[in-house]
Chain A
């Protein structure tokens, strides 16, 4: 089954404790992206990757890092999480990253930073 998976689905952590949220897709997509969703602010893009070893900032990249060493994986790294990073996170992928392509989203990771 074609899908985007994220782990963990739920995470409670404390300020400053590094964490990684994994994202993997099995569709051989070139393009992958991370969004965060907050009440009243909608979904906002954090980082995206057009291909292996090619990443770029989205609208809200502060406090996050990403890497793209393999086509299928695009982990989101919070080096020193803060409470304002408490949010619902979604990973997405599409074939090439062209605007007219369908994007496929993961199930989401709900993060609480205390």
Chain B
């Protein structure tokens, strides 16, 4: 599996956009970029994922560089409830027999401040 590198921690002002970077320079062609977050020891929560194109949903936007070696998760208007650890995960596509395991790194601890 490709590995990811994220900053250990970041701060963001409430109401501002939070931009969380992730480096995945060894990603291969069939690997997806997934983002999950974990709020204070709760179960991890899916945010968004993508393969090549930028993606947007009701929670966030995902910007993937053209060479796919890095990506940025954007929370457009961060609130205090977005304070959490954010995990960038790279996973294989369509590999049915490898257990569907998610490899969580250390993630980025995002603190949204009033």
Interface of A with B (CB < 8 Å)? 4, 31, 33, 37, 42-43, 45, 48, 50, 56, 58-59, 88, 90, 92, 94, 96-108, 110
- Distance A98 CA – B49 CA, assembled complex (angstroms): 14
Q: Is B91 an interface residue (CB 8 A)?
A: yes
Q: Main SS of chain B's interface residues? A: loop
Known: A42-B105, A42-B106, A102-B49. A97 touches B44 (CB 8 A): no
- Distance A59 CA – B99 CA, assembled complex (angstroms): 11
Query: How many B residues are at the interface, by size bracket?
Result: 20 to 34
- Give which listed residue, B43, B49, B99, B105, contacts A105 with CB less than 8 A: B43
- Distance A99 CA – B91 CA, assembled complex (angstroms): 6
Beta-carbon contact of B99 and A98 below 8 Å: no
Known: A104-B46, A108-B43. A97 touches B99 (CB 8 A): yes
Beta-carbon contact of A43 and B44 below 8 Å: yes
Known: A58-B99, A99-B94, A102-B46. A43 touches B41 (CB 8 A): no
Residue of B41, B99, B100, B101 most packed against chain A (CB within 10 A): B100
Beta-carbon contact of A99 and B44 below 8 Å: no
Least distance between B43 CB and chain A CB atoms (Å)? 3
| Minimum-distance CB pairs A-B, first 6 | A105-B43, A97-B100, A99-B91, A43-B104, A99-B92, A102-B46
